[in-house]
Structure 1
Amino acid sequence: MLSNFNYKFGNSLCGCHSRLDRESPISFAKKLFRLPTVYFLLLFFLALPLHAADDFFFKANELYDQGRYKESVKYYRAAIDDGRYEPFAWFNLGNALVQLGKKEVAMVAYKRTVELLPDFVKAWMLLGDLYYLAESPSDAIVAYNRAIELGTETDHIHFALAECYMKGSDWTLAQKHFERALALNPDRMDAWYGLAEVYEKLGDYEYAVKTLKNALQMTATAGADVHYTLSYYYRSMDSTRLALNEMENGIMMDPENVSARRYLAQMYVKNESPWMAIFTLEEGLRHKKGIADLNLDLGQIYFTQKRYDEAFECYMKAWRAGNSQGRIGAENVGHIFSNAGDTEKAETLYARIRDKK
């Protein structure tokens, strides 16, 4: 009987990502599959002589725990053929096959497990993950719901169900399961993003914003990405000032994020605040990251302001740091002086470009 065995499983996991890159059941499944193998000893077996099934099964477990998954497969198959540990050998075989990247075959192993042990919750959960990986959310929903029916309710199951319903554009059920995942684990940031995205899909940006504001209040795992996502929502609501504020909040938490810093600078330029764009980019240079791109952006702003000498220096720094667009920008500065009749200045700049100085 199932209750006679002692199972050792891995801990539940959660992740924190931005709205566009939050943890999905795909990556979650990959983590969840790294489980210690199943060990079960019936006390009365200790008094019996070793059976071939014991040798096969425990040898397979030993190899699995050593990371020798390919070698463990043949021993699990031998244990299955013997029949004594068949359902559990099927389950561990599924785990080993997942580690080997053979997910379709692993699905067969998990299906066989639940056929032999219909109340084995872990097998239903992992089967749900594999269905999701196979782009079969409807089958995944059945598997996850079966796990819930068996009395196991985790934030992983509800998050995975919500993602499945999102794929089917069932926003109501997606919302229900994201909310349930958060009730079980308020620190699950990807569920906060998911819930906010439900409201975004419904065109209700105010509730999307409210959701992420709640996340900032209720979880310590909220990071700069929350502010970047809030900025996106505020832009969608045509609230430039609030969008800028949230980008600034994100940069304060994540000062070395070059892409976010460049985007904030672009926002300032569009908001007719080039001096703030310059300040933002120059602050980024202090962190010694993205030097080529930051200098290129500075050069473009100076060029637009007709501050050609400063533009030229920034373009050259961008080029020397590896951005070929910097050379084009520097040449354009030279052309400006040439077209204005200042051939001496132009030739001086062209000489520096040729020498890359």
Structure 2
Amino acid sequence: MRKYIIIFILVGAGLPIPAFINIAVSDTSPAEASYKSATTYHDLGEFERAISEYRKAIALNPNSPIIFNRLGVAYSELKQYDAALDAYKSALALSPMTAEPHYNIGLVYLKKGDLPHALKAFKRAIAIDAEWGDAYTGLGEVYLKQGDFGQAIRAYKQATRLNPNGNPSAILGLSKVYARQERWEDAITAVEKAIEIHTDNTEAHYQLAQIYIKRGEKKKATAAMAFFKVLRQTDPLLKEAEIWVKRHPNDARGYNNLGIVYLARRRPEDAIANYKHAISLAPDLATAHYNLGHAYHKQGKMNLAIAAYKQALTLDTTLAIAHNNVAVCYIESGIDLDQALSHARTAVRLVPTASNYWDTLSQVCTALGLESEARHAHARSTKGQEKYTTER
């Protein structure tokens, strides 16, 4: 009896992830145990330990092209490109008609700046599997770097035809070509499509900012560059948070933290899913309930936001920011202003130095016609803001 394990080839050089491939391995064996251990370390980003385990697996099963291919990916992640090439070539010696090693070789040569060899490798991958869009994306990247824009466009368009809704790298590549040709509207359309598919694609937002800069659209450029900076700053945090929950699948705070990163990167649905998972693991984690409310609030789902904020307050009545945000939700919804007033007053009582809490109180008092209290709150809000500006 033989069973099949799905193997996932990792990305390199900012290009797409190769397709899933099926690998037959014999039932429980020392080679399989080492391979499984290697893939676990690989998925956790512990590439040196993964390499050690891949090598153990190869020593026990030297005829597996798949293990050699994965070994090459691990070496490539560590930027040990010569070792990666040796591993990929070993995979091809065992299975010359497999597209993945050729593709991965192309990625390595692309990273090394060896465009002729990269071009040759991607073409070989396509010759074996002409329906694999990622290989055309790699081909497009080479042509773009060589300045052959016509060929680059053809390659990228073929990649998108083969996978129209799942290949943001190819669409982003088209945007780069159009920008080089000063076809600005086409460039913007393409990069926005890439962002639609992959909301927090750091490179795509940088590309969008650069296009606006070159077009002299300062306001749009500033906004795009600001979000690019958020993405660049949170890229390592995202990686760390995702790895943390893999290592600690029962740690509610880990999922809460991952949700925070997702929300900062404009991925509210992923944030909400992680907050909910954190709550399922630790129902008394007040910060997870608060963050869930904050995510709903940003989506404009006021009833859900209020319910989550109030649940946080049930667990921690001193959470001033939750009191303030409940009040804000009521104000924005134009309902239950008496409750808004109660929560706003509690917020400033708990943290009397927070100018934004005083501003919330000023708004609700104004709405309720409490003019004296509204003026007092507004004065406290303004004073706090002036102090903050002076201290900065």
- TM, length-normalised to structure 1: 0.50
User: What corresponds to 2:91 in structure 1?
Assistant: 113
Does 2:168 align with 1:192? no
User: What corresponds to 2:185 in structure 1?
Assistant: 209
User: What corresponds to 1:271 in structure 2?
Assistant: none
What's the CA shift for 1:119?
0.4
Q: Which amino acid aligns with 1:128?
A: G
What's the CA shift for 1:244?
5.0
What's the CA shift for 1:37?
9.7
Q: Which amino acid aligns with 2:31?
A: F
Provide the identity percentage.
16
Unaligned runs of 5+ in 1: 14-24, 47-53, 236-242, 258-285, 288-313, 322-357
CA distance 1:190–1:61, shift in 2 (3 Å): closer
What's the CA shift for 1:250?
5.1
RCO greater where, 1 or 2, for CA within 8 Å and sep 6 or more?
A: 1
Q: Which amino acid aligns with 2:25?
A: F
Does 2:216 align with 1:231? no
Q: Secondary structure at the match of 2:134?
A: helix
What's the CA shift for 1:118?
1.0
What's the CA shift for 1:124?
1.4
Alignment check: 8 A CA contact 1:227 1:246 kept: no
CA distance 1:161–1:250, shift in 2 (3 Å): same
Larger Rg: 1
What's the CA shift for 1:245?
6.6
User: What corresponds to 1:61 in structure 2?
Assistant: 35
Q: Report the more deviating stretch, 157-166 or 175-184.
A: 175-184
User: What corresponds to 1:157 in structure 2?
Assistant: 135
Q: Report the more deviating stretch, 98-107 or 146-155.
A: 98-107
What's the CA shift for 1:64?
0.6
What's the CA shift for 1:129?
1.3
Alignment equivalent of 2:115, drawn from 125, 137, 147? 137
Q: Which amino acid aligns with 1:174?
A: A
Q: Secondary structure at the match of 1:40?
A: strand
Does 2:52 align with 1:71? yes
The two structures, once aligned, show a CA RMSD in angstroms of 4.5
Give 1:1-357 correspondences, 5 Å limit.
6=4, 8-10=6-8, 26-28=13-15, 38-41=23-26, 55=29, 57-67=31-41, 68-79=49-60, 83=62, 85-98=63-76, 101-187=79-165, 188-202=167-181, 205=182, 207-213=183-189, 216=192, 220-221=196-197, 225=205, 228-235=209-216, 243=217, 246-247=220-221, 320-321=391-392
CA distance 1:201–1:66, shift in 2 (3 Å): closer
Alignment check: 8 A CA contact 1:125 1:143 kept: yes
What's the CA shift for 1:194?
2.5
CA distance 1:121–1:190, shift in 2 (3 Å): closer
Q: Which amino acid aligns with 1:165?
A: Y
CA distance 1:149–1:319, shift in 2 (3 Å): farther
CA distance, structure 2, for counterparts of residue 255 and residue 75 of structure 1? 42
CA distance, structure 1, for counterparts of residue 170 and residue 110 of structure 2? 17
Q: Which amino acid aligns with 1:69?
A: A
Alignment check: 8 A CA contact 1:128 1:144 kept: yes
CA distance, structure 1, for counterparts of residue 146 and residue 153 of structure 2? 13
- TM, length-normalised to structure 2: 0.46
Unaligned runs of 5+ in 2: 42-48, 231-354, 357-384
What's the CA shift for 1:111?
0.9
What's the CA shift for 1:87?
3.5
